[in-house]
């Protein structure tokens, strides 16, 4: 939903609205949408919740941004993303009245730094704390409450009050969920037995029965259970006790630093840390306002005498952030309301300073050998071109190699999994360890402030200082939630591609076809790689201006044309003697491969080792399997082929041909199925032949297939498996029709983004990456086809290989978007709407030589 200016409204936004008659506030915090999803519940400073229509609201601040948050500009939220590197928040504070209608909220101070105030309670669940040389997280916090009776003449202290008292005067539920459940001045109630068993600090009240009400005078943190996560001295010293009955010995640590407590937002309760800061921060509009403030402070003092220390409330926030954009530019002091918090849907969304490595998806297809296997640092990225300027670390001190690389050829370095805002602790050398650090010393814990000064990392420490450190001098802390920690007190399959490739080469027939084409293939590879190097050199020369994607496209067009001409003119055309005639004969040969057949079970079937229910499944199970076979024999679409197995009736293997107009065009996708003994009461088990690649949001590298029909993801009604109506045919058709589609990006649950700027920004790179995965999958299948489908794979790519190369040519030369070509790999009307990225063409030019070689080895028919 959008506000009055057309800006999207998010939870925890500070919004302004027209003050109505009798109302005290004109702004508040968005906490949730109403059940009908048409209005918003807005939390005001005094805790009241009001219902407002989106058109009556205006977003004025977003205080929940923090370092490491990905953002986009409100004016161009489909454009390049950035990352927040710094946050500054100022608070406007009001003094709440004591419950009397004649005492409205009074402004106490404006523009207050969060470092000058403290929350009502010292600690809450999930807070980070420091004790000496140890950093921990509070996983359980007990709250003690002092309750006043008889106008303050009697005071009772109730321990562990969260489970024993309830608030009867609180008008909001937001802070009840996220902060202290009790504030001074709240009216609370509890069973008489609770107060009878509690300690009375003043006076004596002996309730007899029923429920009693009183006023909260003081809220304090009782015992705290701490999970100690890291130490300055690693494992040299023993951690403090997990349970701390006295939290005053613990020092609160905000991961963003003492001046960066971003969780402050409207209606939060607080006290000043110093004695009388209000006069220094009071608004300087009129003397009359100052008099009101002084009168309010006098009332506060009178209330303190009565035993209640009334807290202040945050009425508004003003947040500015520092943003590092993908293109390497920085903006300081950006108003938070001009930015949108965005999730990073695209795994190719790298940011300056991130460490990357060259990605290898199939054997012998890598980026330039000068940087292969090395770690690089991203300097800048063009989200439109999908190219990144990377400084590769060579190992020679002070020497780096700068290249412009396709983002599709990059992956995040697994050994450098840190990011802006990540929490760190200093690792001091053992010879200089300090074992007697003060309890409140925060000079050794901090967060990452900058990554662009490689090899250094800039860290902002808890004491407010910033320094440069090397990676081995710090430890990155990946905090877990309190729930995860309490719960504590994988099936990722990777193929050994190198070993397989070696075996495939040993098994490859050394016939005339191989000998006759080796020299030609080598020539093709050398020519294409030379042109690619030329393109790379041209891009390298334009590093400083390569962000201007339109100029890059114009400059690189002749080179891209040269690439595709070399592919077209130099592709091996089998025409001479011996076994080479097999390629010509195949041109006119009718492709015969039954859509369904029953054969012997293959030894590489994923479910081969599972229990065979054929003998013990009973006649009913056997009859159902035979029915499934008959349906498959007569009803399979032209692009799906299935094999049943006479010696293992519970197993099936299916292959689907990728449809034209999708990034899966001309690809082959294999699935192993198993019908369990409980079939059809439960759906089949399905495993995808992934080769460790992610071809779709619903096809995992582990081979897991997420489909509601298989009960592996949510669904309702006819989307779910029905023993009476569902079948194996429905499963395979659903996979092809619902998974292998033209825009796979939206399969990840992003259907609401269809037609939006965010959707358009992410759908194209996802399609491009999917097509590259499709090509790499082809190489894997040619080298190791599933047993029983060797001839099918070979014959498919003999016939369709030329169209795969034609499609590559269309993408390289004409810039057609992925998934817009027809069955003959020709451009359509949709091909003119957009163009594919430069980064995609760079990655494609890198893999085409391997495709040419692989297709030639199996005798692919030459194109016209």
Question: What is the full DSSP assignment across 273-342?
Answer: SSSS-HHHHS--S-HHHHHHHHHHHHHHHHHHHTT--PPEEEEEEEEEEEEEETTS-EEEEEEGGGEEE-
Are 345 and 746 spatial neighbours (Cβ–Cβ below 8 Å)? no
- pLDDT the model gives residue 275: 55
- How many residues are recorded in the chain? 864
Tokens of 730: 């429905």
How far is the first Cα of the chain from the last one, in angstroms, to the nearest whole number?
A: 53
Alpha-helix residue ranges (DSSP H) falling in 233-286 = 278-281
Which residues have C-beta within 8 Å of that of residue 771, sequence separation ≥ 6? 663, 664, 665, 818, 819, 840
Dmax (CA) for the chain in angstroms is 111
Q: What sign does the CA torsion over 594, 595, 598, 599 have?
A: positive
Those residues of the chain that have pLDDT short of 50 are 99-102, 176-179, 257-262, 277-280, 286, 300, 302-305, 369, 430-433, 490-590, 864
Question: Which residue has 């098994």 as its token pair?
Answer: 507
- pLDDT the model gives residue 256: 64
d(CA 418, CA 154): 54
Backbone angles phi, psi at 142, to 5 degrees: -95, 140
**What pLDDT digit, counting tens, does each position of 35-90 carry?**
877 899 998 888 888 889 999 999 999 988 889 999 999 988 888 999 999 999 99
Tokens of 609: 């080792």
d(CA 99, CA 108): 18
Q: What are the distances in angstroms from CA 116 to CA 12, 247, 316, 439, 618?
A: 22, 20, 16, 20, 75
- pLDDT the model gives residue 378: 95
Are 774 and 694 spatial neighbours (Cβ–Cβ below 8 Å)? no
Q: Where does residue 166 rank: exposed (0-12), middle (13-18), buried (19+ CB within 10 A)?
A: middle
d(CA 505, CA 521): 16
Beta bridge partners of 230: 135
- pLDDT the model gives residue 767: 95
Q: Give the count of beta carbons closer than 10 Å to the beta carbon of residue 436.
A: 7
Tokens of 621: 């199970």
**What pLDDT digit, counting tens, does each position of 235-252 carry?**
567 888 888 888 888 888
Which residues have C-beta within 8 Å of that of residue 603, sequence separation ≥ 6? 787
Beta bridge partners of 313: 94, 269
- pLDDT the model gives residue 386: 93
d(CA 584, CA 582): 5
d(CA 716, CA 739): 17
Tokens of 197: 């068993």
In which element (H, E) is residue 129 found?
strand 128-131
Q: What are the distances in angstroms from CA 710 to CA 229, 640, 650?
A: 40, 19, 16
Name which of 585, 616, 785, 584 is nearest 689 in CA terms: 785
Collapsed DSSP state (helix, strand, coil) of residue 178: helix
Question: What is the full DSSP assignment across 366-397?
Answer: -S-TTTTT-EEEEEEEETTTTEEEEEEE-SST
β-pairing verdict for 640-645 and 596-599: parallel
Beta bridge partners of 393: 400
d(CA 721, CA 731): 9
- What's 810's DSSP letter? I
Which residues have C-beta within 8 Å of that of residue 77, sequence separation ≥ 6? 8, 340, 342, 757, 758
Collapsed DSSP state (helix, strand, coil) of residue 742: coil
Peptide bond into 680 cis (omega under 30): yes
Name which of 82, 41, 88, 39 is nearest 62 in CA terms: 88
d(CA 482, CA 227): 9
Which residues have C-beta within 8 Å of that of residue 36, sequence separation ≥ 6? none
- Full set of structural domains in the chain with CATH: 1-61 (2.30.30.1060), 106-317 (no CATH), 593-801 (3.10.110.10)
580 has catalytic annotation: no
Backbone angles phi, psi at 763, to 5 degrees: -70, -40
- pLDDT the model gives residue 324: 97
- What's 659's DSSP letter? P
d(CA 383, CA 364): 27
- pLDDT the model gives residue 493: 30
- pLDDT the model gives residue 593: 87
CA-CA-CA-CA torsion for 352, 353, 357, 358, nearest 10 degrees?
30
d(CA 85, CA 457): 13
- How would you classify residue 727: left for phi > 0, otherwise alpha for psi between -120 and 50, otherwise beta? beta
- pLDDT the model gives residue 671: 98
Of 706, 767, 816, 836, which is the active-site residue? Answer: 706
d(CA 706, CA 661): 23
Name which of 33, 536, 683 is nearest 42 in CA terms: 33
- Interhelix angle 838-857/549-570, nearest 10 degrees: 10
Name which of 60, 58, 41, 38 is nearest 50 in CA terms: 41
d(CA 354, CA 413): 8
- pLDDT the model gives residue 182: 86
Beta bridge partners of 855: none
């Amino acid at each position: 939903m959008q506000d009055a200016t057309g800006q999207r409204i998010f939870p925890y936004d500070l919004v302004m609205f027209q003050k109505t008659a009798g109302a005290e506030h004109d702004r508040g915090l968005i906490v949730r949408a109403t059940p009908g999803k048409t209005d918003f519940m807005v939390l005001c400073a005094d805790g009241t919740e009001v219902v407002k229509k989106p058109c009556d609201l205006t977003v004025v601040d977003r205080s929940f941004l923090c370092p490491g948050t990905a953002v986009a500009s409100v004016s161009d939220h489909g454009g390049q993303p950035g990352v927040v590197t710094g946050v500054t928040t100022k608070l406007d504070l009001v003094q709440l009245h004591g419950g009397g209608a004649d005492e409205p909220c009074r402004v106490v101070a404006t523009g207050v730094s969060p470092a000058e105030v403290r929350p009502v309670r010292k600690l809450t669940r999930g807070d980070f704390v420091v004790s000496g040389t140890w950093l921990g997280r509070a996983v359980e916090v007990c709250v003690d409450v002092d309750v006043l009776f008889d106008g303050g003449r009697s005071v009772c202290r109730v321990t562990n009050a969260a489970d024993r008292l309830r608030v009867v005067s609180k008008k909001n539920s937001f802070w009840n969920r996220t902060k202290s459940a009790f504030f001074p001045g709240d009216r609370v109630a509890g069973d008489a037995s609770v107060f009878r068993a509690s300690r009375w600090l003043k006076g004596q009240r002996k309730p007899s029965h029923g429920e009693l009400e009183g006023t909260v005078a003081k809220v304090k943190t009782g015992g705290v259970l701490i999970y100690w996560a890291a130490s300055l001295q690693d494992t040299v010293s023993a951690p403090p006790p997990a349970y701390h009955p006295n939290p005053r010995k613990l020092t609160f640590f905000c991961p963003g630093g003492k001046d960066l407590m971003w969780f402050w937002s409207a209606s939060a309760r607080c006290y000043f840390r110093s004695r009388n800061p209000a006069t220094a921060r009071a608004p300087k509009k009129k003397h009359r306002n100052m008099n009101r403030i002084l009168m309010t402070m006098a009332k506060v003092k009178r209330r303190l005498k009565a035993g209640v220390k009334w807290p202040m409330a945050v009425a508004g926030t003003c947040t500015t952030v520092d943003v590092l954009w993908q293109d390497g530019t920085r903006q300081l002091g950006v108003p938070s309301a001009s930015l949108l918090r965005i999730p990073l849907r695209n795994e190719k969304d790298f940011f300056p300073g991130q460490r990357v490595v060259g990605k290898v998806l199939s054997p012998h297809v890598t980026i330039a050998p000068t940087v292969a296997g090395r770690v690089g640092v991203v300097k800048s990225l063009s989200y439109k071109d999908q190219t990144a300027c990377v400084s590769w670390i060579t190992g020679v001190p002070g020497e780096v190699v700068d290249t412009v690389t396709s983002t599709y050829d990059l992956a995040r370095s697994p050994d450098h999994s840190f990011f802006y805002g990540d929490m760190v602790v200093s690792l001091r050398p053992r010879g200089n360890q300090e074992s007697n650090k003060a309890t409140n010393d925060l000079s050794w814990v901090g967060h990452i402030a900058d990554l662009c000064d490689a090899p250094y990392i800039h860290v902002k420490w808890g004491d407010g200082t910033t320094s440069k450190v090397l990676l081995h001098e710090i430890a990155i802390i990946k905090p877990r939630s309190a729930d995860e920690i309490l719960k504590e007190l994988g099936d990722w399959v990777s193929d050994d591609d190198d070993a397989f490739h070696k075996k495939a080469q040993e098994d490859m027939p050394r016939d005339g076809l191989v000998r006759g084409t080796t020299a030609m293939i080598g020539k093709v590879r050398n020519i294409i790689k030379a042109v690619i190097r030329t393109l790379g050199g041209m891009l390298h020369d334009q590093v400083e201006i390569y962000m201007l994607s339109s100029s890059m496209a114009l400059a690189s067009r002749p080179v891209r044309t040269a690439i595709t001409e070399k592919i077209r003119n130099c592709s091996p055309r089998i025409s001479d003697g011996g076994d080479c005639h097999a390629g010509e004969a195949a041109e006119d040969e009718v492709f015969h491969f039954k859509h369904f057949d029953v054969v012997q079970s293959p030894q590489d079937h994923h479910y081969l080792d599972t229990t065979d229910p054929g003998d013990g499944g009973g006649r009913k199970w056997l009859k159902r399997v035979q029915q499934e076979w008959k349906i498959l024999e007569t009803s399979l679409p032209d692009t799906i082929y299935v094999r049943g197995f006479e010696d293992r009736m519970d197993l099936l293997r299916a292959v689907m041909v990728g449809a034209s107009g999708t990034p899966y065009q001309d690809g082959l996708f294999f699935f192993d199925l198993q019908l369990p003994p409980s079939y059809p009461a439960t759906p089949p088990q399905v495993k995808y032949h992934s080769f460790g690649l992610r071809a779709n949001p619903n096809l995992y590298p582990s081979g897991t297939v997420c489909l509601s029909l298989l009960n592996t993801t949510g669904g309702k009604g006819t989307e779910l498996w029905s023993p009476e109506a569902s079948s194996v045919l429905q499963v395979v058709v659903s996979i092809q029709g619902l998974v292998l589609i033209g825009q796979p990006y939206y399969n990840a649950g992003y259907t609401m983004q269809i037609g939006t700027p965010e959707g358009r920004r992410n759908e194209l790179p996802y399609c491009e990456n999917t097509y590259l995965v499709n090509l790499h999958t082809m190489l894997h299948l040619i080298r190791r086809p599933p047993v029983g489908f060797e001839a099918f794979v070979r014959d498919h790519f003999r016939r369709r290989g030329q169209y795969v190369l034609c499609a590559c040519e269309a993408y390289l030369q004409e810039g057609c978007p992925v998934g817009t070509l027809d069955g003959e790999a020709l451009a359509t009307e949709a091909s003119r709407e957009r163009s594919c990225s430069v980064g995609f063409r760079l990655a494609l030019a890198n893999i085409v030589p391997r495709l040419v070689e692989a297709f030639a080895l199996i005798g692919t028919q030459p194109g016209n």
